[in-house]
Amino acid sequence: MKRFVYVNDDDSSHELYCDNRISNRKYTLLNFLPKNLWEQFSRFMNQYFLLIACLQLWPLITPVNPASTWGPLIFIFAVSATKEAWDDYNRYLSDKKANEKQVWVVRQGSKKLIQAQEIHVGNLVWLRENDEVPCDLVLLGTSEPQGVCYVETAALDGETDLKTRNIPPACMGIDSELLHKIKARYGYRGVMECPLPDKDIRRFDANVRLFPPFLDNDVCPLSIKNTILQSCYLRNTEWACGVAVYTGNETKMGMSRGVAEPKLTAVDAMIDKLTGAIFIFQIVVVIVLGIAGNIWKDTEARKHWYVLYPEEGPWYELLIIPLRFELLCSIMIPISIKVSLDLVKSLYAKFIDWDKQMIDVETGTSANATNTAISEDLGQVEYILTDKTGTLTENKMIFKRCCIAGTFFGNENGDAVKDVELLNAINTGSADAIRFVTVMAICNTVVPIKRNYYSASGTVLYKAQSQDEEALVRAAASLHMVFVNKNSNILEINFNGSLKQYEVLEYLEFTSDRKRMSVVVRDCDKGNIMLLSKGADETILPCASAGHQTKTFSDAVDQYAQMGLRTLCLGWREVNEAEYQDWSFMFKEANSTLVDREWRVAEVCQRLEHDLDILGVAAIEDRLQDGVPETIETLRKAGINFWMLTGDKQNTAIQIALSCNFVSPEPKGQLLLVNGKTEDEVCRNLERVLLTMRITKAEPKDVAFVIDGWALEIALKHYRKAFTELAILSRTAICCRVTPSQKAQLVELLKSCDYRTLAIGDGGNDVRMIQQADIGVGISGREGLQAARAADYSIGKFKFLKRLILVHGRYSYNRTAFLSQYSFYKSLLICFIQIFFSFVSGVSGTSLFNSVSLMAYNVFYTSVPVLVSVVDKDLSEKTVMQHPQILYYCQAGRLLNPTTFAGWFGRALFHAIVVFAITIHSYAFEKSGLEEVSMVALSGCVWLQAFVVTLETNSFTILQHVAIWGNLVVFYIINWIVSAVPQSGMYTIMHRLCRQPAYWNTMFLIVAAGMGPVLALKYFRYTYKSSKINILQQAERVGGPILSLGNIEPQPRSLLDSDLAPLSISHAKNARNSVFEPLLSDSPNALRRSFGPDFFHSHSPYSRNKDM
């Protein structure tokens, strides 16, 4: 299937393709109610409550007033629906803003300003500098004579550099006036044949055919290089115009946006599971009691004449007693749990919003929890998938040190630009230093921005494809070598006030194979021709002229790499005119070959790049964000695995990974490469890496694998199983050159292995993975707010992640774990009492408690005290930060799982027995009035739960005291008031009870008998079988330093058994076999592939073999 786009045809495509209206909305006005209700009722719990509420409408079976279920139910639904509606309204507003943006579009042959949503496929769209691209366009013309324009694609792929885009050759040279006229009406035609919309932002295989009078009517191929995509920005180009090929939600951006699924936390899932278990238990109870009730009725109840059972009942008679029990037991699943959980969850979110320790001081942005429902998941994160640029790094490259002709600069103060000696060297005219700085300033493809040329501050803005080049040019400017202007081929340099001009003769472009780039320039004053080169040490140093000492430089590279700096070597040589002319001819020839062009060009380049004078080594820092290494280290200690997913180059990624503790340096860590262009290669690599992984599994070693986008694509497609295994085995991974949808796929892969994933990123390219992950965290950074908006949490800096997870996530999980289990406990408690009571009431389904008490018990007496557990802290924040390993308890779900739940279940059963047995025995005979017994039992429950909450609370703030003890007081006040109402069933009951010593005796007895064993058990466990949390609690309260040494044991992974037992690996010399691979040193297809940015190779000590 193809789509045909008729250029500038107003009419033809309107019906065929959608307009440019973007819609992220979930509901419309009409479908909101049914759709929302449908969604809400798709949750099992809601269906259950609805069923119960409906059953309660039948007075024959209801034990309590139906309002006690309907009220909360309607309230819950109203709250969730309102929230959904509000969210959707906000989405509508933001869509509207984007849709109503004004753009210039050619209509009826003239440019008109219309709203972005009115753009149709085939329209000619005109953009001016800094305009956002409204839809996917194929370029037709730009202001630049060479037919290029610059776009910033940060929103799409997260790369902040400027990318050049070209107009298709067929359109080269079309006059801008003529552009309007590419249309059938004028006899001019243009047809584009494009693929159907997809989400691949790296591919656009289309062609265009322009008919006369345009240049030729041959089919001209189009690629992604000829497009500018939605949400990019036009930069450094006065204007550009293009044909809309994809619009609205069909753009590459729109297609890769994906629909955000509502997220369910692991805790929620566990609660649902437990609810299911309780439901089954309830059904069993109902069936058993129902059968018992019917049997008792038929054998016994008919003898009890005062009950006056009719001989013949209606057909549904057999169902009545089971249904009564169903309703009686319906409180087993507490309706209040949803309300309380929603309430505390929104409070957790508020705590995150309020946290002043998570405010970015520089920008003043505070953390923000957009999704208020998933805070617990933060505490259960097992994998963090992080973007690199802008997330880990500040996305600012800075030139820091250099070594010129054996002299180190910047070593003392850490900043070469401010090194007095270097400045002196330049000022005094040291030839080496000046050449070095000249290479820095002009050996690049940087574009200085003209309008700031003579700005008051004197600074020039640079736009570069490579951040490193920008850093070098900027540093050169600080060293008085200011690259001020680029006028087609003439570069203007302002050196100490004097203007120097260079004519660029050739660019010897950078490729990832060459790992170096050079320019051939002619000094306009002297007329001599020079070759200036820069690149990775491994590719520059071998080009040094014979006899030139390179030892100092390779030492310098080593030294800088150890500091985590990106290094590159700079070199030059003079080229005589004749040599240049010869070479230039070959170069032009190579450039015009059709077969193997890249290879031919590289070969020709090499003929010029030899006998270089090595000038020195420059070291650049890609500044990590504040606190990133510490954060990663802490979180890794907490047992969280890190994956770096970046669109960036492999070497850069590895470099950053090393510098931020992502992977450990060599003796401890090991990097395994998975790459390859073909299936076979990838498969082989994968096998090899897996083997290594399995072997090193038992060793306390940090093994990470590195994979690039291409290999990843193949691995995901053909070797999914092997790759999944690899993913499970590896605590760390670096994935480079990955697309947004690959990022999302990786998240999905980990999710499918049942891991909790957190994705963190800052750019539009991270949006999909953020949405896909269990938790999405956006950094509201330099790349705009796109990621932050799509994310569940947005933070100002990466370092806040530590606090977000260890403090907020952990507390949230602990609190919810307690709260949810407690909710079940208290419901089970009262339900068990009802069940026991049914055994002494002829299994007839009588409710011991009245409606008011039941409702108040659930929504008030037992909910209020437990709600204050939102401020409970088991350990202080400081202790948790010191011992991040303690997060393991949350990750492994140690505080909320079927086992702990069984504990609470047992406690509920035990307490119900205590309350019921004590009540019916102390209130026997003449005191056994139904209302009194009911009140005594209820008071017993309320007393017990007050002490249960007390025992389970770790820190008592004023709120806890008020809520727990105040609640008891309020219980008596409420019941006194209700007892004063003559119409109520319990008129005067509470007054009477409170006057009886036996009542108070019973309460004390219930508390002592109920809490004694619980306390004893807890104390025993706390002291003699203490968990790590207990130990830390004790240590914290007892005081004194707590030492934490090693790492937490790696999490148990059951997928692989250990039949591949640890072989003894010889760490012998030259361990270059296929299995053992010390940090990337070898790989099958590259003799030596080390880290460092592509052509700024830094020689890292870690890449050496271990035998050193």
Q: Smallest Cα–Cα separation from 740: which of 1062, 408, 258?
A: 258
Least distance (Å) from another protein to the CB of residue 884? 10
Name the 3-class secondary structure at 503.
Answer: strand
**Binding to another protein, residues 490-529 (CB under 8 A):** none
Q: Count Cβ neighbours within 10 Å for each residue of 661-695 and write b for 16 or more, e otherwise.
A: bbbbebeebbbbbbbbeeeebbbbbbebbbbbbbb
Determine phi and psi for 1072, rounding to 5 degrees: -90, 50
Least separation, in Å, of the C-beta of 863 and another protein? Answer: 19
* All residues at 6 or more sequence positions from 527 whose CB lies less than 8 Å from its CB, including other chains: none
Smallest separation, CB 349 to another protein (Å): 12
Q: Convert residues 21-60 into a mask of x (bound to another protein by CB under 8 A) and - (unbound).
A: ----------------------------------------
Confirm whether 387 is a catalytic residue. Answer: yes
Q: Which class for 187: exposed (0-12), middle (13-18), buried (19 or more C-beta within 10 A)?
A: exposed
Q: Give the contact letters, 338-377, x = binds to another protein (CB under 8 A), - = no.
A: ------------xx-xxxxx-x------x-----------
Q: CA of 887: how far to CAs of 319, 376, 1044, in Å?
A: 50, 12, 14
Q: Nearest distance from residue 418's CB to another protein, in Å?
A: 37
Query: 3-state DSSP call for residue 936?
Result: helix
List binders of another protein among 850-879 (CB under 8 A): 871, 873
Residue ranges in 95-114 that form contacts with another protein under rule CB under 8 A: none
Of residues 538 and 932, the one with the C-beta less far from another protein: 932
Based on CB atoms, which residue is closest to another protein, 860 or 1022?
1022
Closer of 918 and 946 to another protein (Cβ): 918
Residue 406 contacts residue 552 (beta carbons within 8 Å): yes
In this complex, which beta carbon is closest to another protein, that of residue 749 or of residue 1042? 1042
Q: Is 65 in the site for another protein (CB under 8 A)?
A: no
Q: Which residues, 6 or more positions from 928, have their beta carbon under 8 angstroms from its beta carbon? A: 920
Tell me how far, at minimum, the Cβ of 82 lies from another protein, in Å. Answer: 20
Handedness of CA 529, 535, 539, 544 (dihedral sign): positive
Q: Count the alpha carbons within 13 Å of 958 in the hemisphere toward its beta carbon.
A: 0
Binding-site member from 108, 145, 305, 526 for another protein (CB under 8 A): 305
Report the residue number, 248 or 845, with the smaller CB distance to another protein: 845
What is the nearest approach in angstroms of another protein to the Cβ of residue 353? Answer: 6
What is the identity of the amino acid at 224? I
Q: Which of 387, 708, 1082, 1094 is catalytic?
A: 387
Q: Which helix (H) or strand (E) holds 4?
A: strand 2-6
Rounded CA-CA distance 1013/423 in Å is: 79
Q: Name the one residue in this structure whose structure tokens are 């050449």.
A: 435
> Binding another protein by CB under 8 A: which of 119, 267, 517, 918?
918
- Residue number with CB closer to another protein (130 or 957): 957
| Opening angle at CA 500, ends 620 and 503, nearest 5 | 85
By C-alpha distance, which of 447, 476, 445, 412 is closest to 620?
A: 476
Nearest residue to 376 (alpha-carbon basis) of 817, 870, 894: 817
Helical H segments across 697-809, by residue range: 709-718, 720-729, 740-752, 767-772, 786-790, 800-803
Alpha helices per DSSP H over 509-596: 537-540, 551-562, 577-591
Given a contact cutoff of 8 angstroms between Cβ atoms, the answer to whether 372 and 345 are in contact is yes
| Cβ nearer to another protein, comparing 236 with 1002 | 1002
Site for another protein in 1046-1065 (CB under 8 A): 1046-1049
The only residue of 219, 307, 499, 1061 in contact with another protein, by rule CB under 8 A:
307
Is residue 304 a contact partner of residue 842, using CB atoms and an 8 Å limit?
A: yes
Touching another protein, residues 967-996 (CB under 8 A): 982-983, 985, 987-988, 996
Size of the site for another protein (CB under 8 A): 100
- Residue of the chain from 932, 1077, 1082, 1094 that contacts another protein (CB under 8 A): 932
Minimum CB–partner distance for residue 1107 and another protein (Å): 22
Structure tokens at 991: 């007054």
For residues 805-844, which are near another protein according to CB under 8 A? 811, 837, 840-842, 844
The residues in 1009-1048 that bind another protein, with binding defined as CB under 8 A, are: 1009, 1012, 1015-1016, 1018-1019, 1022-1024, 1026, 1028, 1031-1038, 1040, 1042-1048
**Nearer CB in complex with another protein: 253/990:** 990
717-776 residues in contact with another protein (CB under 8 A) are none
Q: How far is the CB of 235 from another protein (least distance, A)?
A: 30
Straight-line distance from the first to the last Cα atom of the chain, in angstroms, rounded to the nearest whole number: 59
Distances (CA, A) of 314 to 63, 287, 320, 966: 20, 20, 10, 50
Minimum distance, C-beta of residue 847 to another protein, in the bound complex (Å): 8
Name which of 226 and 885 has its Cβ closer to another protein. Answer: 885
CA 587 – CA 600 distance, rounded (Å)? 9
Q: Considering the complex, what minimum distance in angstroms separates the CB of residue 309 from another protein?
A: 7
Of 109, 700, 906, 1101, the one binding another protein (CB under 8 A) is 700
What are 481-487's contacts with CB under 8 Å, separation 24+? 481/426, 481/434, 481/437, 481/438, 481/440, 481/441, 482/441, 483/441, 483/442, 483/446, 483/448, 484/448, 484/453, 484/460, 485/448, 485/450, 485/453, 486/446, 486/447, 486/448
With CB under 8 A as the contact rule, the residue among 217, 455, 459, 928 that binds another protein is 928
Question: Smaller CB distance to another protein: residue 195 or 985?
Answer: 985
User: What residues numbered 645-664 form the site for another protein, per CB under 8 A?
Assistant: none
Q: Which of 678, 955, 1073, 1074 binds another protein (CB under 8 A)?
A: 955
What is the smallest separation between the CB atom of 1105 and another protein, expressed in angstroms? 23
Residue with tokens 């670096």: 734
Residue list 441-460, contact with another protein (CB under 8 A): none
Q: Which among 198-206, 247-255, 304-312, 573-581 is the span making contact with another protein, rule CB under 8 A?
A: 304-312
304 contributes a contact to another protein by CB under 8 A: yes
Peptide bond into 145 cis (omega under 30): no
> Closest CB to another protein among 221 and 1012?
1012
Alpha-carbon torsion (664, 666, 670, 675), positive or negative: positive
Q: Which stretch binds another protein (CB under 8 A): 133-141, 680-688, 696-704, 1074-1082?
A: 696-704
Of residues 639, 658, 656, the one with CA closest to residue 647 = 656
The CA distance from 1067 to 668, in Å, is 12
Q: Which is nearer to another protein, 110 or 1058 (CB)?
A: 1058
**Dist CA 308 CA 520 (whole Å):** 111
Asked if 269 interacts with another protein (CB under 8 A), we say no
Q: Which listed range, 169-177, 267-275, 440-448, 921-929, lies at the site for another protein (CB under 8 A)?
A: 921-929
The residue within the footprint of another protein, chosen from 920, 974, 1056, 1060 (CB under 8 A), is 920
Q: How far is the CB of 60 from another protein (least distance, A)?
A: 10
Q: Which is nearer to another protein, 526 or 1037 (CB)?
A: 1037
Q: Which of 29, 303, 311, 1055 binds another protein (CB under 8 A)?
A: 303
**Piece of the chain touching another protein by CB under 8 A; list 29-37, 442-450, 925-933, 1065-1073:** 925-933
List the beta strands (DSSP E) in 436-591. Answer: 447-449, 461-463, 481-487, 490-495, 498-508, 516-523, 529-535, 566-575
Please pick, from the candidates 110, 177, 259, 310, the single residue that binds another protein as defined by CB under 8 A.
Answer: 310
**Minimal distance in Å, beta carbon 1045 to another protein?**
5
Query: What long-range pairs does 81-89 form, CB within 8 A, spacing at least 24?
Result: 81/33, 81/36, 81/37, 81/40, 84/26, 84/27, 84/36, 84/39, 85/27, 85/32, 85/36, 88/25, 88/26, 88/27, 88/32
Catalytic residues: 387
